[in-house]
Chain A
Amino acid sequence: MEILSTIFSVAFLAQVIRLMTPYYLGASGANFSERGGVINIAIEGFMISGAFCFALFSITFGNSMLALFLTLLINLLLAGFYSLFALKLKLNQILIGVGFNMLITGLAKFFMMLIFQSSSNTSRFDELPRLEFLRIIPFVGDVLSDFIILFAIALIFISNFLLYKTKFGLRLRACGENPEAAESSGVNVHLYKLYGILLSGFLSGLGGIWLASVQNSYSDGMIAGRGYIAIAAMIIGKWKPVNIFFACLLFAFFEALEISLQIVETGFPTQFIQMLPYLITILVLIGFIGKTKPPAADGVPY
């Protein structure tokens, strides 16, 4: 019963919203890329670069806003580099993703040793500044004063608007569904695919920044498969911003539960909770939980 009272506490719900943030940022990023027809497995890598660069710049410059800006710039560059392989060379997008994940994981470990002489932890740095005036809101004020969390929540509306109500969204989706038709109606397909990839690099980078910021340090392996869970959430959310949000919320709930279970000691195996996102993804993919329909030209080089 102790666990029930834990789950229904305000602190637990706040924790769920916090944990949802990196998943939703990564998943939205992946979604923009796939809506343009480019599978992006490198979300994990982009999150790592976000977290590591933020730590590095925060420590070097002692200014977290400057660090945030520079990190996002680096992530955009990395995403641009990625699009070189995916769009110019038209390579198998999954292999590029695997390559990028290895490359960024390796580079982060490498520079970690080189700069911090430690394979596990950077020194500590300051969290991003909070929006103090929002703290007065009862219960959720603490969560909402974190502007990345606030942005992640707003992103539901932003991405919904961008994808379905703007010319940009229409064209991006056209590139993912039928690039030939989009091309013949005058859309610069490569450019729109590039936008999708850049957005994925930007948003997943922000997810990484958030993780590093709240932990006040970067540690090796801290992303711990969150990029893959984000992709899982995108699939489960069937490439729709609102559904993806609920999928992320679900995973965040299980993650928060797992953390509480470790404290409460119920004897329920945590491995099964950790396994859930991946298991549910496969069940969704095989149509066990409703039909899925990815963008028609998803993953096809154009």
Chain B
Amino acid sequence: MNKELKINTISISLSLIITLVIITLFLFTLSKNPFEIYSVMLGEVFGSFYGFGQMLFKATPLIIIGCGLAICFHASLFNIGAEGQLNAGSFVTAIVLVALSDLPFILAFIISVACGFLVSGLFGLIPAIIKIKKGVNEVITTIMMNFIILYLVNYFLMNFFTVPATQRTIKIPESFMLPQASDLISAFQGSALNITFIFAILLALIIYFIIYKTRFGYNIRAVGFNEIASAYIGLKPARITLLSFFIGAGVISLAGINFVMGYKGYYEFGYTNNIGFTAIAVALLARNHPIGIIFSALLFAFLDFGGLAVNQIIPKEVILVIEALVILSIISVNKLTENYFNKT
């Protein structure tokens, strides 16, 4: 086993164990039976096609956004702006789809998704350009961009595209909706799982290939590992920063397909519900490895849907607490294991 893999395995399993222990103790102190809660969650999710489908549905955007973030994180760019980028992308995708109602599906699909990708990517470019030109840390700018984009989207939505008395766009044509899992296996009935899940898995494989098997991916990781050294071996860190921010933000926008074309058929303000922040935890837990992201997205989706299932016993808000604990324990354990291995 090589060293990197060893550190990864140890720190991921350690942080999962630590989080589980903390949660269990936490539930005990609230005089709830943690094991009863766990078994109900497992039963709800894995006991029926519906529960299982809901978990996969909730994992879909997390996989896509996690992959987009992984591209940035590999270049050591802390993109906290996924929430905004996703909103901009899905909003644009939805309104372009409506505008192209008369075109054949495949054409409208390609154009609208490309427009979403482009707009989201351009919003991603802003912090990148500011970082390169002015040396401003991208974290502050991406956080500020989140708010700016949300208000911008809200303005355009409320003034030009809204269905009266709602916060959503007009519905896209029925023929533009993506195939549902329930069309194939009727036991999925009621679950929102759709073909976007398969698309997300493929995307993760593609991003894995790009990051680990191509020259471009190597360059991203080289810049992320040591920007100054990478400049000495002839790379252009500025160009890589721009590209990884553009592509990363663009990929994040693709998560909108799941909701807009796979589920509701429109863009609704606030639908993202902090998923851009959850995806940070997803990517961190997988240590930015796209295949790992599939699994960590499934874990968070399990917690999310499972949390709904046990809402009677314990408020579902505990999921947010768990996500935060996962982030904190992962970054701590990562650091400690790295320190440990670098010493020996």
Contacts and interface: CB of A to CB of B under 8 A. Distances in A.
A92 B331 contact: yes
A260 B153 CA distance: 23
Contacts of A98: 80, 277, 280, 327
A225 B158 CA distance: 21
A107 B315 CA distance: 11
A96 interface: yes
Interface residues of B, number: 42
A108 to B, nearest CB: 9
B152 interface: yes
B143 A286 contact: no
Interface residues of A, number: 42
Contacts of B331: 85, 91-92, 95-96, 99
B320 to A, nearest CB: 3
**Max chain B Cβ within 10 angstroms of own Cβ: one of A41, A101, A102, A109:** A102
Given A114-B315, A274-B151, A41 B143 contact: yes
Contacts of B137: 299
B155 interface: yes
Nearest to A299: B137
B8 interface: no
A89 B339 CA distance: 10
Interface in A50-107: 85, 89-92, 94-96, 98-103, 105-107
Given A113-B317, A232-B144, A91 B335 contact: yes
Nearest to B321: A106
Interface of B: 30, 78, 80, 130, 133-134, 136-137, 139-141, 143-145, 147-148, 151-152, 154-155, 158-159, 277, 280-281, 284, 315, 317-325, 327-328, 331-332, 335-336
The 3 closest A-B pairs by CB, nearest first: A106-B320, A113-B315, A103-B324
Given A103-B321, A282-B130, 4 more contacts: A41-B143, A99-B331, A102-B323, A106-B323
22 contacts: A98-B277, A99-B331, A102-B281, A102-B323, A103-B325, A103-B328, A106-B322, A109-B315, A110-B318, A114-B30, A114-B315, A228-B143, A232-B144, A271-B152, A275-B151, A278-B144, A278-B147, A279-B148, A285-B136, A286-B133, A286-B134, A286-B136
Interface of A: 41, 85, 89-92, 94-96, 98-103, 105-107, 109-110, 112-114, 119, 225, 228, 231-232, 235, 269, 271-272, 274-275, 278-279, 281-282, 285-287, 299
